[in-house]
Amino acid sequence: MKPINKKTLLSTAVFGLLLALLVLISILYVYNIYKWGDHPDYGLGFRTATGIKVVGSLTMPGRQAGLRVGDQIISVNGKSYRNFAELRSIVNTKPGDQNVFLVERSGNQVAITITNGRIGFISAFNKSGYLLVLGLCYMLIGALVYLMKPHQRTSWIFLLFTATTGLWMTFLFKITLLTPKWLEAFHLLIYMLVPAVFIHLTISFPVERRLLTKFPMGQLFPYIVSIILFFIILPHGLYLHLINNI
């Protein structure tokens, strides 16, 4: 009877835990897509390049009310705002509620009343679901490559790359904040880790760099930097600015 290889046993256990984590996150994201179907459709969205005072995109309620892409928002329901938190505090959030947007267009001020719609599951899936499927494909490719050559360092590096990239794709277009709340922090962590896995893959394929062979612990450096940045950014709640809608 062959003795149990502790490294192989540890590798198998970690692989199982990683798969369980990926499955859990995917299930939670599907749940979020389902919940986002009940989220109010305010009729508009914003773009990072133009900020939250300019209409960046339109959905049916905003289009029907006469809002246009590029309209400069002066106030909502008679109140001005400076950030997403203030905007959230002044909008009426239930489907069927109305919000009055005072906008500037071609030098004129126009008041536009938009009745909140409901996003609906199909629309929510069209916005977020396909990226989840793409992310799952990346995760599956990494798992299959690992299973073809298990417990090898190169297999682990490739699996970390595909798993992180797959999760990054999954979170790429979320409609609003995630439930449960810790998933928002996990979402930010994945964003922080993406550069690290790219660097790790670059210095390891197609062959390991000499420096990495001489100093194998050096491959942990990008991850350490990413995690430090994560803990610096998280307390300030900057992840709230990653959302694209009200």
* Segment 128-146, tens digit of pLDDT: 999 999 999 999 999 999 9
Instruction: Please check whether residues 159 and 214 belong to one and the same domain.
Output: yes
Which of 70, 64, 75, 73 minimizes the C-alpha distance to 41? Answer: 64
200 and 137: one domain?
A: yes
Residue 12 in domain = no
Residue ending a domain, choose from 100, 118, 136: 118
Q: Quote the pLDDT of residue 236.
A: 61
Q: Are residues 107 and 222 in the same domain?
A: no
Q: What is the pLDDT of residue 243?
A: 43
Q: Which parts of the chain sit beneath pLDDT 70?
A: 1-4, 235-246
pLDDT at 114: 96
What per-residue confidence (pLDDT) applies to 244? 42
Among 118, 140, 157, which residue terminates a domain? 118
Domain hosting 181: range is 18-37+120-242
**Helix then strand then coil, % of the chain, to nearest 5:** 60, 15, 30
Note whether 134 and 110 are within 8 A (CB).
no
pTM: 0.79
